[in-house]
């Protein structure tokens, strides 16, 4: 018998008289129904000492939250409590020995299974503990996100805010420290669970038995189905396209052509959700296409088509000029030369109060050979400028209006970076019109924060967190960040801090969108250091700061649960603080 394998648990007679005891290694040993049992002494729910619990009819009950366990196997009867590790016991005469290692150690597979169970049952503490354990075990974040995407896209409600948040948080993971990464993953997974709660699993429709469907015919069928809101027909065409081997890039074009056949669907959400689903597909590979892409189809059954809305037609009719521009682009040859693009002038044009002039300028630039993705990038800066200049005298809910335009502009930029489909250029027009419609939210314009008098002083980022821990410190937080940037401080440290500023909150959907879009757009300018690029980067960071500051602080229930999970992982004694 090796002393490293077995732990001395004393005499059987002593245990009979005491009923339970704790031995070396934090193992609780019980005498019950003429048998000896050993389990970890920490309740896996919130860490209360199990030797202070009670055993009846083979069930060990924790006396803090009444979690119940089979004292023999350690299995829990309550889905919100994990199984407690159980240990083998042997008797040598009257002496008890407990194996130093549990029968089943927690491992990656078990933690991923628990994460899936937490998602299925919408139990926050279960998901939080699984995320902490998986991150601490070194499992890549993508593998954790995959569990959530697989679960969420398999539910009947389809792609929505929860899956969008999770995919967005996956993109910002590299900008965050370990604490931020755990919070980002937990927020995203929790939102997926909440969005899926109460929905039955989704059953995919099958592909058509066509022997050799052509891509162009499938695209035509898909567009026709979406036009008449026939989502079942559209899904069968989609599955046929996937089965026929249509490339992920062409699948994205097919679906987004249908999204852009009508103007600015559902205030930009439809395009944005598609973009995030394609990002998830790129991450997990084409084998995920049937489930991920099919989850997008239900939202196409009833989105608002903006060309039918009053403010797109009066007092300025923007529908007809856009249709005329689309026809002009379709019937003209694009210049092989790259037009000389004045970036500052174009952004000012997008922000002006002359939308017909802006539409004409955009058409000229496209016909002149301007890269659509570059135009989209500049439009994103203009949309961020609307947030930067959003005056707090507006109604609070109007923050979401300028946010929608910015995140839509970002989604369009991301898609045009990977697609050369001309019909997707229609999304550029929808974006500039949305920027135009937001003009009234800059009347009056909030002043742009300028450099203060803190040059040469320290910029502890805790100051910014403290500032954003008070309500409506919108301009104050922006001024602090402006000083920080003008002093040439580290933008990556700032992004990590801004991430923590909302991940410590019970943040709502649009806040996640804002941060991810700002981070991604900021990264697109990192390769340049000219005056306009510096202006663009500053605009994006200040717009992000103002939006996050406007939406904090909150009750912070979600990060509290994550903090409990991490403390349990570290072995802290929560019950002593209760």
**Residue 252: alpha-carbon gap to chain centroid:** 20
Using CA atoms, how far apart are residues 42 and 346, in angstroms rounded to an integer?
63
Contact 454, 487 (CB under 8 A): yes
Using CA atoms, how far apart are residues 558 and 461, in angstroms rounded to an integer?
23
Confidence at residue 1, expressed as pLDDT on a 0 to 100 scale: 44
Using CA atoms, how far apart are residues 417 and 172, in angstroms rounded to an integer?
19
Reference 502, options 563, 564, 547; nearest CA is: 547
Question: Where is 60: in which H helix or E strand?
Answer: strand 59-61
Question: Where is 327: in which H helix or E strand?
Answer: helix 319-330
Q: Distances from the Cα of 390 to the Cαs of 383, 393, 403, 432, 546, in angstroms?
A: 11, 9, 10, 17, 9
**Residue 431: alpha-carbon gap to chain centroid:** 23
Confidence at residue 340, expressed as pLDDT on a 0 to 100 scale: 84
Contact 50, 28 (CB under 8 A): yes
Confidence at residue 11, expressed as pLDDT on a 0 to 100 scale: 93
Q: What is the CATH number of domain 6-102?
A: 2.102.10.10
Q: How many residues does the chain have?
A: 578
Confidence at residue 25, expressed as pLDDT on a 0 to 100 scale: 85
Contact 119, 151 (CB under 8 A): yes
CATH class of residue range 215-301: mainly alpha
Contact 204, 295 (CB under 8 A): no
Contact 371, 414 (CB under 8 A): no
Using CA atoms, how far apart are residues 490 and 122, in angstroms rounded to an integer?
38
- What is the domain partition of the chain in residue ranges? 6-102, 215-301, 309-442, 461-558
Which value, in Å, is the radius of gyration of the alpha carbons in the chain?
A: 28
Beta bridge partners of 36: 31
Contact 99, 87 (CB under 8 A): yes
Sign of the Cα torsion 356, 357, 358, 359 reads positive
Reference 233, options 167, 153, 298, 283; nearest CA is: 298
Confidence at residue 397, expressed as pLDDT on a 0 to 100 scale: 95
DSSP assignment of 159-226: S-HHHHHHHHHHHHGGGS-HHHHHHHHHHHHHHHHHHHTTPPBP-PPPPP--SS--HHHHHHHHHHHH
Contact 54, 64 (CB under 8 A): no
Using CA atoms, how far apart are residues 523 and 510, in angstroms rounded to an integer?
20
Confidence at residue 456, expressed as pLDDT on a 0 to 100 scale: 66
Q: What are phi and psi of 59, to 5 degrees?
A: -110, 125
CB neighbours of residue 25 within 10 Å? 15
- How many helices, marked H, and strands, marked E, lie in the chain? 23, 9
The DSSP secondary-structure symbol of 268 reads: G
Using CA atoms, how far apart are residues 17 and 4, in angstroms rounded to an integer?
28
For 135, how many CA atoms within 13 A lie in the half-sphere containing its CB? 23
Using CA atoms, how far apart are residues 35 and 30, in angstroms rounded to an integer?
8
Reference 440, options 384, 490, 401; nearest CA is: 401
| pLDDT by 10s per residue, the chain, length 578 | 455 689 999 999 999 999 999 998 899 999 999 999 999 999 999 999 999 999 999 999 999 999 999 999 999 999 999 999 999 999 998 999 999 888 876 689 999 999 999 999 999 999 999 999 999 999 999 999 999 999 999 998 899 999 999 999 999 999 999 999 999 999 999 999 999 999 999 999 999 997 778 999 999 999 999 999 999 999 999 999 999 999 999 999 999 999 999 999 999 999 999 999 999 999 999 999 999 999 999 999 999 999 999 999 999 999 999 999 999 999 988 777 778 899 999 999 999 999 999 999 999 999 999 999 999 999 999 999 999 999 999 999 999 999 999 999 999 999 999 999 999 999 999 999 999 999 999 999 999 997 766 666 889 999 999 999 999 899 999 999 999 999 999 999 999 999 999 999 999 999 999 999 999 999 999 999 999 999 999 999 999 999 999 999 999 999 999 999 999 988 888 877 65
């Amino acid at each position: 018998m090796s002393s490293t394998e077995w732990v001395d648990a004393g005499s059987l007679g002593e245990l009979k008289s005491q009923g339970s005891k704790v031995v070396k290694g934090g193992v609780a040993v019980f005498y019950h129904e003429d048998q000896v049992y050993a389990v970890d002494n920490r309740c896996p729910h919130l860490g209360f000492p199990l030797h202070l619990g009670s055993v009846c009819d083979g069930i060990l009950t924790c006396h803090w939250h009444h979690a119940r366990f089979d004292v023999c196997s350690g299995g829990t009867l309550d889905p919100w409590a994990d199984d407690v590790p159980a240990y083998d016991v042997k008797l040598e005469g009257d002496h008890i020995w407990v194996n130093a290692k549990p029968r089943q150690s927690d491992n990656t597979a078990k933690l991923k299974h628990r994460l899936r169970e937490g998602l299925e049952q919408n139990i926050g503490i279960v998901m939080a503990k699984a995320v902490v354990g998986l991150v601490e075990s070194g499992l890549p974040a993508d593998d954790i996100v995959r569990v959530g995407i697989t679960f969420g896209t398999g539910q009947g409600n389809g792609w929505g805010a929860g899956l969008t948040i999770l995919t967005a948080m996956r993109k910002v993971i590299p900008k965050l420290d370990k604490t931020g990464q755990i919070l980002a993953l937990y927020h995203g997974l929790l939102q997926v669970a909440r969005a899926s709660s109460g929905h039955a699993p989704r059953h995919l429709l099958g592909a058509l038995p066509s022997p050799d469907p052509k891509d162009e015919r499938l695209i035509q069928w898909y567009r026709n189905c979406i036009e008449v809101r026939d989502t079942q027909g559209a899904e069968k065409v989609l599955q046929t396209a996937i089965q026929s081997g249509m490339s992920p890039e062409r699948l994205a074009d097919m679906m987004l052509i249908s999204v852009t056949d009508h103007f600015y669907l559902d205030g930009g959400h439809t395009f944005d959700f598609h973009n995030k689903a394609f990002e998830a597909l790129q991450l997990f590979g084409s084998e995920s296409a049937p489930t991920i892409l099919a989850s997008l189809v239900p939202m196409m059954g009833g989105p608002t088509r903006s060309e039918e809305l009053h403010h797109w037609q009066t007092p300025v009719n923007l529908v007809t000029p856009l249709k005329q521009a689309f026809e002009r682009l379709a019937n003209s040859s694009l210049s092989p030369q790259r037009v000389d693009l004045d970036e500052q002038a174009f952004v000012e044009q997008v922000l002006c109060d002359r939308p017909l002039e802006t539409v004409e300028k955009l058409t000229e630039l496209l016909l002149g050979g301007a890269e659509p993705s570059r135009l989209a990038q500049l439009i994103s800066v203009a949309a961020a400028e609307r947030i930067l200049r959003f005056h707090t005298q507006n109604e609070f809910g109007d923050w979401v209006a300028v946010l929608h335009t910015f995140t839509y502009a970002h989604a369009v930029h991301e898609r045009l970076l990977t697609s050369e489909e001309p019909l997707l250029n229609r999304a550029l027009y929808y974006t500039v019109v949305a920027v135009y419609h937001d003009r009234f939210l800059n009347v009056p314009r909030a002043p742009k924060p300028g450099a203060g008098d803190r040059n040469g002083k320290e910029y502890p980022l805790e100051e910014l967190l403290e500032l954003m821990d008070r309500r409506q410190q919108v301009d104050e937080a922006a001024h602090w960040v402006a000083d920080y940037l003008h002093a040439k401080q580290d933008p990556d440290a700032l992004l990590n801090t801004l991430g923590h500023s909302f991940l410590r909150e019970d943040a709502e959907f649009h806040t996640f969108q804002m941060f991810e879009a700002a981070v991604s757009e900021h990264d697109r300018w990192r390769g340049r250091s000219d005056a306009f690029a510096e202006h663009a980067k500053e605009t994006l960071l200040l717009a992000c700061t103002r939006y996050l500051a406007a939406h904090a602080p909150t009750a912070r229930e979600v990060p509290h649960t994550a903090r409990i999970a991490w403390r349990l992982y570290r072995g802290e004694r929560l019950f002593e603080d209760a």
